[in-house]
Structure formats: C-alpha cells, structure tokens
Amino acid sequence: MKYQRSSQLFKAASEVIPGGVNSPVRAFKAVGGTPIFVSRAKGAYLYDADGNRLIDYINSWGPMILGHAYPPVIEAVIEKAQLGTSFGMPTEIETKIAELAVSMVPNIDQIRFVNSGTEACMSAVRLARGFTKREKIIKFAGCYHGHSDSFLIQAGSGAVTFGSPNSPGVTSGTAKDTLLAPYNNLDAVAEIFEANPSEIACIIVEPVAGNMGCIPPQPGFLEGLRALCDSHQAVLIFDEVMTGFRLAKGGVQELYGVTADIVCFGKVIGGGLPVGAFASRHEIMNHLAPLGPVYQAGTLSGNPLAMAAGYAMLQALDADAKVFDRLAEKTAYLHKGIAAALTENNITHTINRVGSMISVHFSETAVVDFETASEGNNARFKAFFHGLLDAGIYIAPSAFETWFITDALSYEDLDDTIAAVAKVASKL
C-alpha cells in the first residue's frame, strides 16, 4: 500500500503538534514507520488519506462497538447540533442518558458526566478520598486510568509505548500516595493494606485490563479485591472506560457478578464523541458538589452533542439483547482462526480474550500482568503489525493494547483477517 499522503500530512503535523500527534500511541513509535491519517470511516472500515481501505480493529480505541458512522448516532448528533452546540446550562437529554445508564448498570444510583475517561477516573479517586477522608490509593502496574498525575506511575498503554512509564512532571508527593501492586496478585494488595493501616482511600483497577493487552482477571481476583476493600473500609473503583457497555450491558459487574463502589465510564458511553462518566450509590455521590464538599466541574460536561451521541448508542445496545453474544462469538471465531494460523507456522504466541476484547502476545508464557506482558517478542510484533497493515488490516500500533471488535465486522472480514495473519505468519 502507498502512504504518500499520510507521510506528507505527518510531516506537516510534526511542525505544529508535538510528535505530530495529539495522543502518543498514535505516533507509531513502538512499531516504526509513519502514522496513518484517516479521511473517513464507515462500518468496519477505515479509509485513509491515500484512499486505502483498512479493516479496523481499534475502532477509535473502543467506542465504535456498532461500527463507524452508525446512522442513529449520526442522525442524533446532526439533529441536536441544529439546535445549538453548547449552552453551559442543564438540558433534558442529560437526564435521559443518565436514567438509561443507571437502569443498565448494576449497583449505581446516580451518574455524573465529564469529558473523558481521564476526568472520570481522576474525579472518582477524588470522590473516594473525600468520602473516606484518606489520601492513599492502590493501583496496578500496567493499568492505565488516564494521564492524571496519580495514574502515571508504572502506567501501561500510551505511557509504555512512549517509553516513559514514570512520566516527568509527576511529583514525588503524588507518587508516595500511589501504592503499586502487580495485577492479579491479591497477596500483594493485602500486604499493602497491612503496611498502610487506615490510610488507603481506594483501589482503582481495570477489572479486565486493556492497556497491557487484554488481560482477564484470574478467578477470585476481583472477588478478593472486593473482600479486602470491605475489610479495610476502602472504596473499590472499577475503571470500566473500556469494558463498560462493551463486555455486557452492565459491564464487568454484570459479567463477573462483582460489585464496585464507584464505576468509571468512557468510550462506548459517548458513541464516539468525547464523554466520560463516573457513577455510584447515593451514599457516595451525595459527597459530590453541589450536594457535598468534593468539588468537580466542567464547562462542557454534559455537552448536548455528546449526550445525544451517547444516548443513541446506549438505546441501541439496550434494545438489542443479543449484541454482546454476537460480539463474543465473532471474537471467539477470530481467536480460533488466528491461533490456528500462528500455530501452523510455528509462531510462539499467547492469545487473551474476554468478550469483544482480544490481544495477541508473542510470548511463551501466559500473560497475566504487566511483567509477563513485557516479556513478549516486540520485534516480532512490529513485523506482525506492518504485515497486517500492508494486507489492509489495522490493529493497534502497540503490543500493549487490546483489539476491539465491532458488530459491523462480517465473517467475511474475519476470514480475510485470518488469511492475512496466516500469510504474515509464514514470513515471521
């Protein structure tokens, strides 16, 4: 494929945008080469600036669960835009999407909308601190909760791809209040609690990790976190920015039957527009301004265009009881095909999958945490990525990212992808 126009656009972008991108993982630093510039997208496909068609497996990093340019979302945004794009005042559609979200997700009474997953997680931690009157938090190495200072301590995703897990600019004081544990390691979490009695406000966790590749929770891990939080009067925060409204209608709480105290949302809940949210029961949400002392605000929070897009998306998911089964079935089909293609070509690999999230690790061992994810053959991943790109298949340009499956993918698309994997694997 030719990427002449993309190369020109990247050169121009690099003059006026740091690194030529507005989010580091887009820069192709982990895989080499020039980022692809997109002109348009429809259904399961991207169309780049050079006119190439690509089967898309990132889907805007998750939101496009029903495909690009999904007509009900597009129509809702157009209709709302004609009435005005922002008011800085309450609108009815904020209440409508809030009511729908609360009805779909277990164990929440109220929800507040913000503009990104980062904002949602940052606000959730502040709320947990205000509720418990404690300062320290536990997060897991490799889990990414956005680019707030508290979270950029051994983060995954873009921070790893960028090559700076501990970002300069994060103060030592912030680092001291952020306690790290290995993902899927309950003993380590218990030790942290014992070493910091009555000091820990919350645990924040990706209940299915997606920023070191897709990494499922091992049996008992989420249940154990719930028990530890109960025992130590700490708040359990599920960062469901990726998993919310994707793995099940009610997210991971529904999928695994484990209750969180605060749940963070993003991606799918915005239908492709910038939206985040955090939700909890009345007891906790009543501490939030203007009812309580914990301050949080945003000029564009609840933006009518974003609310219209998110409401249309949630309505579609709420009305289609089989959509999550279809997504899981397509992902399982892809998993089986990729595994067979790699095995036939003697390529050592591990594939992790939960619902419509999947990742391919070129690793001999099971990938269960950040350490094991980091042991994969990154040189092989680079070759794999570029081979698929040349074949018209777009996956995340980082070994530390999950793939996101969309319902717009046909089984013909999946077969084309499996065939491309087989061809690429024969040359690895």
266's tokens: 């993003």
Distance separating alpha carbons of residues 56 and 392, to the nearest angstrom: 9
| φ, ψ dihedrals at 103, nearest 5° | -70, -25
- In the block, tokens 């009435």 appear at 83
Q: Fill in the DSSP letter of residue 179.
A: E
Q: Does domain 4-69+322-425 have CATH number 3.40.50.12780?
A: no
pLDDT at residue 162, as a whole number: 36
Identity (one letter) of the amino acid at 111? I
pTM (2 d.p.): 0.95
289's tokens: 């301004």
Contact call for residues 23 and 397 (beta carbons, < 8 A): no
77-109 as b/e: b if 16+ CB within 10 A = beebeeeeeeeeeebebbeebbebbeebbebbe
Q: What does the domain layout of the chain look like in residue ranges?
A: 4-69+322-425, 71-319
pLDDT at residue 77, as a whole number: 98
Distance separating alpha carbons of residues 286 and 294, to the nearest angstrom: 9
Instruction: Work out the burial of residue 345: count CB atoms within 10 Å of its CB; fewer than 13 is exposed, 13-18 middle, 19 or more buried.
Output: middle
pLDDT at residue 189, as a whole number: 96
Contact call for residues 21 and 35 (beta carbons, < 8 A): yes
Phi-psi region of 123 (alpha: psi -120 to 50; beta: other; left: phi over 0): alpha
Helices (H), 241-365: 251-256, 282-285, 304-319, 323-344
211's tokens: 């920023």
Q: Which helix (H) or strand (E) holds 67?
A: none
pLDDT at residue 154, as a whole number: 62
Contact call for residues 117 and 124 (beta carbons, < 8 A): no
What 3-state class would DSSP assign to 234?
Answer: coil
Q: Tens digit of pLDDT per residue, the chain (428 long)?
A: 788 999 999 999 999 999 999 998 899 998 999 999 999 999 999 999 999 999 999 999 999 999 999 999 999 999 999 999 999 999 999 999 999 999 999 999 999 999 999 999 999 999 999 999 999 999 999 899 998 877 877 654 444 433 333 678 877 777 788 999 999 999 999 999 999 999 999 999 999 999 999 999 999 999 999 999 999 999 999 999 999 999 999 999 999 999 999 999 999 999 999 999 999 999 999 999 999 999 999 999 999 999 999 999 999 999 998 999 999 999 999 999 999 999 999 999 999 999 999 999 999 999 999 999 999 998 999 999 999 999 999 999 999 999 999 999 999 999 999 999 999 999 99
Question: CATH code for 71-319?
Answer: 3.40.640.10
Helices (H), 179-269: 186-195, 221-232, 251-256
Residues labelled as active-site residues = 144, 239, 267
Helices 92-104 & 304-319 angle (0-180, nearest 10): 30
Distance separating alpha carbons of residues 265 and 65, to the nearest angstrom: 14
